[in-house]
Amino acid sequence: PAPAPPCRVKRVPSPIPSSPWWLSRPALVAAAGAVPFCAIFVETFFLFSALWSYRVYYVYGTLALVLAILTIVTACVSVVATYALLNAAEDWRWPWFSFGTGASVGGWVFAYAGHYFVTKTRMSGLFQTAFFFGHSAMLCLGLAGAMGAVGHLAASAFVRRIYRGVKCD
């Protein structure tokens, strides 16, 4: 079924005013992905060490806690970025933006994978490089999809909550 908005909307979309560079959609998405990545940075090193440096990973409880923290931080950052987009930038196109704010953490993890490949591994050759980046890309795409869904669901609940009280005559 078609989504039902919480209040009546105009048929003609409002024009979006120009905004400074820090309120542009790419800048907000990149900044929104950096915050959850900072929350999981240390654990990402241990995960990559277990996957690519043949170290034993044995702190699964910590991994579950970090995943919970990642989910909460991604939801909060997505809500804040969506609010900044709606209020400060006056941009009404929030649904894919909210997905992008959550999914951008996957891009940050993939950038860290490139850093990890250069600084911590001794892999060389086309096959090893393609294997490393192919598996890292699949991992990061899965993470991006999951965190994008978390970001969109949190922003959707937030938008429905704030516009529920709008009275239209």
> pLDDT digits over 54-73, tens only?
788 888 888 899 999 999 99
Give the largest Cα separation in the chain, rounded: 67
Note the pLDDT of residue 116. 94
Apex 50 CA angle, 76 and 126, nearest 5: 100
Burial-class residue 138 by CB neighbours within 10 Å (0-12, 13-18, 19+): exposed
Residue 145's Cβ-side half-sphere holds a number of Cα atoms within 13 Å equal to: 5
- For all residues of the chain together, what is the average pLDDT? 87
Considering only 26-30, 125-129, 152-156, which range has the smallest mean pLDDT? 26-30
Residue 8: pLDDT over 90? no
- Average pLDDT (103-124) is 93
Tell me: the pLDDT tens digits for 13-49? 666 667 777 777 888 899 999 999 999 998 999 888 8
- Average pLDDT (126-150) is 95
Note the pLDDT of residue 126. 93
Residue 133: pLDDT over 80? yes
Give the three-class secondary structure for 88.
helix
Distances (CA, A) of 137 to 76, 122, 133: 25, 19, 6
Strands (E), the chain: none
Which of 106, 95, 102 minimizes the C-alpha distance to 157?
95
Note the pLDDT of residue 5. 67
Instruction: Say what the pTM is.
Output: 0.83
Note the pLDDT of residue 91. 74
Note the pLDDT of residue 169. 46
Instruction: Report which DSSP code applies to 84.
Output: I
